[in-house]
Amino acid sequence: MAPVNETTQNPLDPGTSGRLTHVRADGSAHMVDVSSKQETTREATAQAVLATTREVMSLLATGGLPKGDALAVARVAGIMAAKRTPELIPLCHPLPIAKVTVDFELGAASVTVIATVKTRGVTGVEMEALTAASVAALGVYDMVKAVDNHAVISDIKVLAKSGGKSGDWALGEGR
């Protein structure tokens, strides 16, 4: 297998001009130097979906879970996680997070976590939004596992981002 280097093509990310930004020419990982980037307002929204049973969703919606208000606990977990992303993801830059929202869309047998993170800085907040959505979904799982330890977390993805050199986009808009 050929070593990965800065000129390795990444067909999934046209914003990197075909190179992996966190990999040096010798193949080793490094933190990207963002000191010359322009400070802009940046925002990202991500989701995670927890699939469970209709019975659990009824308990979740009415606050009837044995552990209490799962959505309130999960919301706080997601907000805390966004602020701690650089401690969890090794090459993320610490960012001055200006705002984090964690919301829930309740379906018949699933809950979709929608997390939005905003900053004014030199790098984006996609990882913070993904971390917030993921950890909030983990928080919901922790609260429902007493009644459904077969719940499944899936469909974790960035839905939209704005700000920065690569511009604005939303999932489904020409992607």
Q: What is the dihedral of CA 80, 82, 87, 89, to 10 degrees?
A: 150
The string of pLDDT tens digits covering residues 56-110 is 999 999 999 999 999 999 999 999 999 999 999 988 999 999 999 999 999 999 9
Domain that holds residue 74: 34-170
Per annotation, catalytic residue among 142, 148, 155, 168: 142
Judgement on whether residues 154 and 90 belong to the same structural domain of the protein: yes
Q: Is 66 part of a structural domain of the chain?
A: yes
**CATH code, domain with 118:** 3.30.70.640
* CB crowding 141-166: b at 16 or more within 10 Å, else e: bebbeebbeebebeeeebbbbbbbee
Judgement on whether residues 12 and 66 belong to the same structural domain of the protein: no
> Which residues on neighbouring strands pair with residue 105, listed in sequence order?
112
Give catalytic status of residue 103 as yes or no.
no
Which of 110, 86, 78, 69 has the alpha carbon at shortest distance from 32?
86
Residue 153 has pLDDT above 70, yes or no: yes
For the residues of 35-54, what is the DSSP string, one character each? Answer: TTSPPEEEEEEEEEEEE--H
* Residue carrying the six token digits 């805390």: 80
pLDDT at 18: 59
- Mean pLDDT in residue range 161-167: 88
pLDDT at 32: 83
Q: Indicate the pTM of the whole model.
A: 0.84
User: How is residue 94 written in tokens?
Assistant: 């610490």
The string of pLDDT tens digits covering residues 53-68 is 999 999 999 999 999 9
- Mean pLDDT in residue range 104-119: 98
* CB crowding 86-119: b at 16 or more within 10 Å, else e: beeeeebeebebeebbbebeeeeebbbbbbbbbb
Q: For residues 144 and 51, what is the distance between their CA atoms, to the nearest angstrom?
A: 11
Per the prediction, the chain carries an average pLDDT of 88
pLDDT at 174: 61
- Mean pLDDT in residue range 128-141: 98
* Rg of the chain over all Cα atoms, to the nearest angstrom: 18
Q: Is 175 part of a structural domain of the chain?
A: no
User: How is residue 162 written in tokens?
Assistant: 């704005």
SS3 127: helix
Judgement on whether residues 26 and 87 belong to the same structural domain of the protein: no
pLDDT at 13: 46
Judgement on whether residues 25 and 41 belong to the same structural domain of the protein: no
Report the domain count for the chain: 2
SS3 100: strand
Largest CA distance in the chain: 55
Residue 41 has pLDDT above 50, yes or no: yes
Per-residue pLDDT band for 24 (boundaries 50, 70, 90) equals confident
Judgement on whether residues 9 and 79 belong to the same structural domain of the protein: no
Least confidently predicted of 20-34, 46-60, 76-90, 105-119: 20-34
